[in-house]
Amino acid sequence: MYDLSGKVALVTGAGGRHGIGRSIAVRLADEGADVVVTDVEASMTAIRPEDRQAGWAGLPSVVEEIESKGRQSLGLFSDVSDGVQVADMVAKTLDQFGKIDILVNNAGSRPGKDRVPVLELEEEAFDEVQRVNVRGTYLVSRAVATHMVNRGGGGKIINISSGAGKKGIARYAAYCASKFAVIGFTQAMAQEMAEHKINVNAICPGLVDTERVDFIASALAPVGESSEEFRAGMVQERAFRVPMGRIAQGDDIARLAAFLASAESDYMTGLSISVSGGSEMN
């Protein structure tokens, strides 16, 4: 366990019941942090029918879960690629909690029209991925780091990249470009923030069993095969290629995030750490 008592964390892209963001937010709360969670309003329409029937309401449900652990929480709808909305998100966090000690840049683009060969990749689809994954990481990091520097006392910034940020994958060119960029951004910012005792690191998951896999399956399923059937086959095939025999769960990522958010990682910065069951070892 890592002691995050008295810390305030901001986790973007945290509204999915099965998502990495929710897993990280809940784990940070378990470690003692108060947690602000954000997502786009469109996330409310992406809730699985079975989850909605079970009472899942998206971001409000994450807030309720965090508060049930005795921690304070705040849910905010915000588009991380919009500088005005980002400034408002940070201002509301500071108004309620007075500080931000930990930032987790988890918000990411939804897979869709970008999962095609480069020769079929439209500019709009390419730009949309960069808008959320790269511009969003930059805008939120800049806003929060400005507060951390002005306040003094250091801080932790954790960017969610991907194994696709270390190795190119066919039909994932836009996504790979964005996640390679996140790693480069992490390294550059880590050098700039070191003198302020702000650690900047990235987590690079392999395939994680989240709602994102649903979107990937919908985008890639061939004609005549349901997305559910394609999803099951894809997960099985990916698991076969993982030395540890399974794809990741959100908690696998959350455990590393809790470590990077804690004082135990104070001498670690600029790293991009794979959490992939051995499928990515660089």
Structurally, the chain folds into a number of domains equal to 1
- Residue 77 pairs with which residues in a beta bridge? 39
Render pLDDT for 67-102 as a digit per residue (tens, 0 to 9): 999 999 999 999 999 999 999 999 999 999 999 999
Q: For residue 199, is it within any domain?
A: yes
Could you tell me what percent of the chain has a pLDDT over 90?
Answer: 80
Q: For residue 282, is it within any domain?
A: no
pTM of the model: 0.94
Q: Name the stretches of the chain with pLDDT < 70.
A: 217
Domain around 76: 8-275
Catalytic residues: 175, 179
Q: For residue 125, is it within any domain?
A: yes
3-state SS, residue 84: helix
What single-letter amino acid sits at 45?
T
Q: For residue 2, is it within any domain?
A: no
Q: For residue 281, is it within any domain?
A: no
Q: Is the C-alpha dihedral spanning 221, 112, 255, 66 positive or negative?
A: negative
CA-wise closest residue to 74 among 96, 41, 98, 106: 96
Q: For residue 229, is it within any domain?
A: yes
Q: For residue 280, is it within any domain?
A: no
In the sheet that 34-39 helps form, which strands lie side by side, from edge to edge?
A: 73-77, 34-39, 8-11, 102-105, 155-160, 198-205, 272-275
CA-wise closest residue to 9 among 30, 31, 25, 20: 25
Which CATH number does the domain housing residue 227 bear? 3.40.50.720
What tokens were used for 59?
Answer: 């971001």
3-state SS, residue 151: helix
Q: For residue 97, is it within any domain?
A: yes
